[in-house]
């Protein structure tokens, strides 16, 4: 007898429908799985066998052939266990077929018959909905995540017996309460800018970065608080929209960063260690998996000690930064991962970190080498550079600290102004403005234009830096609620101007 069960395989960031066909017929007892499965799929036989018997079902002593179709797709992971088990039960007459034909099942089985959590429940639920099926059966840890998809009945169950009960027409159990996940992949909501003492200029730079979506480089001596500040960027960013949150949840679920729980609510903050490889950063692997840049999608990618990262890893970030997505090609497969993140990097200004002070021990050559490590296409994409120094004593004592909440309000208003101005372009922030759109949307008054021209003429700015300063000045004007860009906006933007990758304006003038 033949049974056909629907499940899904994770394919990049989406899911592909897989038909699990189980054929049970007379012959020498055997259990074969075909259809390009990996080791986890082959081992599935033992789990299914034991789970059926331990759940009190009969394992047919016949010739069982399982086919995972379509056969050209590689199938990876233990998510096919449940479909295989259901197929065996149906093909041996222990389970009616009618509901099984309208529902998809997805999950790993333990030997005792418990259903285990699998990566990518949200993508699977979206696939189920797309295929027009009625419902989805998953492990109860994944249920809240799968239930984010509207118009789909989701049953989160704990055991194979409960699965069978639902498929026999029983009522699906209610969704479980929120479960504690593993280590949070998103920003810690307890981090607040009010914890930072001093550094009003760096906080200002952070505010501008948040308001305009600009990438930010924090440069300063060791221990000054660069990382502490950078980790607080998500606390001033606007909340994720529902669509953004769904995307982030899908990516994090497929990467295995989420145990249970529903929607990811705060913006992700990813801070990979500087030993990370290029594939680790942008995604890769034999079966392409998202990298840190994708895990930071709609959030913040923090590169601590930028100069320590390998050249190849930083070069690989170029396309993702430029395009907001990255295409990974492996064999005949091409997978596109979204990588629209905000970059925050920290660095020492020179190898000893004390550049500019009398205690700096670095020679000009050391400093140049250090700058060269940082240079390149990455710096061209960083609009803002804030130097951090030891705060003065009265700044430390100052009672008036700005909380993240206050800044977040200002940021939200500035973002709203940008969204209104950019309506129809598909863009959301000033940082995304192309040179053409900069000309269109950034209107300077006469004194502002004069200040910028002067900066260009004196060599303070390069052509590229000119462009970046325009974008930043636009954001500062947005924070100010001003429709036109005034001279003081331009000047502040110049005070926070970044360095140039190719022919560093600063470096060249330091000659």
Nearer to other proteins, 171 or 397 (CB): 397
Per-residue tokens: 124: 């699977």
Taking the mean position of all CA atoms in its chain, how far away is CA 44? 31
Site string for other proteins, 366-385 (x = CB under 8 A): -xx-----------------
Are 47 and 10 in contact by the 8 Å Cβ rule? The answer is no
392 binds other proteins (CB under 8 A): yes
Task: Based on the shown chain and the rule CB under 8 A, indicate whether residue 211 belongs to the binding site for other proteins.
Answer: no
Closest among 191, 211, 203 to 342, alpha carbons compared = 211
- Distance between CA atoms of 51 and 32, rounded to whole angstroms? 17
Give the C-alpha separation, 494 to 470, whole Å. 9
CB nearer to other proteins: give 170 or 356. Answer: 356
Query: How many angstroms separate the most distant Cα atoms in the chain?
Result: 90
- Among the candidate windows 128-136, 199-207, 280-288, 413-421, which touches other proteins by CB under 8 A? 199-207
Is 204 a binder of other proteins (CB under 8 A)? yes
Single residue of 275, 363, 425, 443 touching other proteins by CB under 8 A: 363
243 binds other proteins (CB under 8 A): no
For other proteins, the closer of residues 182 and 356 by Cβ is 356
Closest CA to 380 of 303, 467, 459: 467
The one-character DSSP state at 174 is: P
Rounded to the nearest 10 degrees, the angle between the axes of helix 200-212 and helix 463-480 is: 90
Per-residue mark of binding to other proteins, 425-454 (x: CB under 8 A): --------------------------x--x
Q: Which stretch binds other proteins (CB under 8 A): 113-121, 251-259, 289-297, 397-405?
A: 397-405
Residue 12 token pair = 């990049």
User: Is residue 73 exposed (0-12), middle (13-18) or buried (19+ Cβ within 10 Å)?
Assistant: middle
Chain center to CA of 363: 40
Q: Does 403 bind other proteins (CB under 8 A)?
A: no
DSSP state of 21: E
Query: Could you tell me the smallest distance in angstroms from the CB atom of residue 372 to other proteins?
Result: 10
Considering only residues 73 to 102 of the shown chain, the ones binding other proteins according to CB under 8 A are: none
**44 vs 348 by CB, closer to other proteins:** 348
C-alpha to C-alpha distance for 421 and 237, rounded to whole angstroms: 19
Q: What is the dihedral of CA 232, 233, 239, 242, to 10 degrees?
A: -110
Q: Is 402 in the site for other proteins (CB under 8 A)?
A: yes
Examine residue 354 and tell whether it contacts other proteins (CB under 8 A).
Answer: yes
Contacts with other proteins: how many residues (CB under 8 A)?
A: 53
Query: Applying CB under 8 A, which part among 59-67, 95-103, 347-355, 428-436 lies near other proteins?
Result: 347-355
Tell me which H or E stretch contains 416.
helix 404-421
- How many other CB atoms are found less than 10 A from the CB of residue 153? 15
463 binds other proteins (CB under 8 A): no
Which residues in this chain contact other proteins in the complex, by CB under 8 A?
A: 198-201, 203-204, 207, 219-221, 349-350, 354-358, 360, 362-365, 367-368, 386-392, 394-395, 398, 400, 402, 451, 454-455, 458, 460, 488, 491-492, 494-496, 503, 506, 508-511
């Amino acid at each position: 007898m033949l049974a056909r069960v629907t499940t899904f395989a994770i394919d990049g960031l989406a899911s592909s429908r897989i038909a699990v066909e189980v054929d049970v017929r007379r012959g020498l007892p055997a259990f074969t799985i075909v259809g390009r499965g990996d080791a986890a799929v082959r081992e599935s036989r033992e789990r299914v066998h034991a789970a059926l018997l331990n759940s009190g079902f009969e394992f047919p002593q016949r010739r069982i052939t399982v086919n995972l179709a379509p056969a050209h797709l590689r199938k990876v992971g233990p998510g096919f266990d449940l479909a295989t088990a259901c197929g065996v039960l149906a093909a041996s007459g222990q389970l009616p077929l009618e509901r099984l034909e309208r529902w998809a099942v997805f999950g790993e089985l333990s030997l005792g018959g418990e259903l285990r959590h699998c990566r990518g429940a949200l993508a699977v639920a979206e696939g189920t909905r797309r295929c027009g099926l009625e419902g989805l059966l998953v492990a109860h840890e994944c249920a809240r995540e799968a239930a984010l998809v509207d118009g789909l009945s989701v049953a989160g169950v704990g055991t194979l017996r409960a699965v069978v009960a639902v498929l026999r027409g029983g009522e699906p159990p209610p969704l479980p309460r929120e479960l504690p996940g593993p280590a949070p992949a998103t920003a810690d909501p307890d981090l607040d800018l009010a914890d930072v003492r001093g550094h009003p200029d760096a906080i200002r730079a952070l505010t501008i970065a948040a308001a305009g979506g600009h990438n930010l480089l924090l440069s300063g001596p060791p221990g000054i608080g660069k990382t502490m500040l950078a980790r607080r960027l998500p606390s001033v960013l606007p909340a994720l929209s529902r669509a953004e949150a769904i995307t982030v949840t899908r990516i994090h679920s497929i990467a295995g960063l989420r145990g249970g729980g529903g929607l990811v609510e705060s913006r992700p903050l990813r801070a990979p260690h500087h030993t990370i490889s290029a594939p680790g950063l942008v995604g890769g692997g034999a079966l392409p998996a998202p990298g840190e840049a994708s895990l930071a999608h709609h959030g913040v990618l923090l590169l601590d000690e930028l100069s320590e990262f390998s050249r190849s890893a930083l070069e690989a970030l170029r396309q993702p930064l430029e395009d907001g997505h990255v295409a990974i090609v492996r064999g005949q497969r091409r997978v596109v991962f979204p990588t629209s993140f905000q970059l925050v990097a920290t660095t020492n200004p020179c190898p000893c970190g004390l550049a500019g002070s009398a205690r700096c021990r670095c020679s000009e050559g050391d400093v140049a080498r250090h700058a060269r490590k940082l240079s390149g296409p990455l710096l061209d994409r960083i609009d803002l550079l804030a130097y951090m120094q030891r705060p003065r004593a009265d700044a430390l004592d100052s009672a008036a600290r700005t909380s993240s909440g206050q800044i977040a309000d200002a940021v939200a208003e500035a973002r709203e102004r940008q969204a209104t101005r950019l309506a129809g372009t598909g863009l959301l922030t000033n940082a995304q403005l192309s040179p053409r759109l900069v000309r269109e949307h950034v209107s300077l008054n006469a004194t502002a234009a004069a200040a910028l021209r002067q900066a260009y003429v004196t060599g303070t700015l390069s052509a590229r830096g000119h462009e970046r300063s325009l974008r930043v000045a636009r954001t500062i004007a947005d924070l100010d609620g001003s429709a036109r860009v005034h001279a003081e906006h331009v000047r502040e933007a110049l005070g926070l101007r970044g360095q140039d990758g190719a022919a560093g304006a600063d470096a060249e003038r330091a000659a």
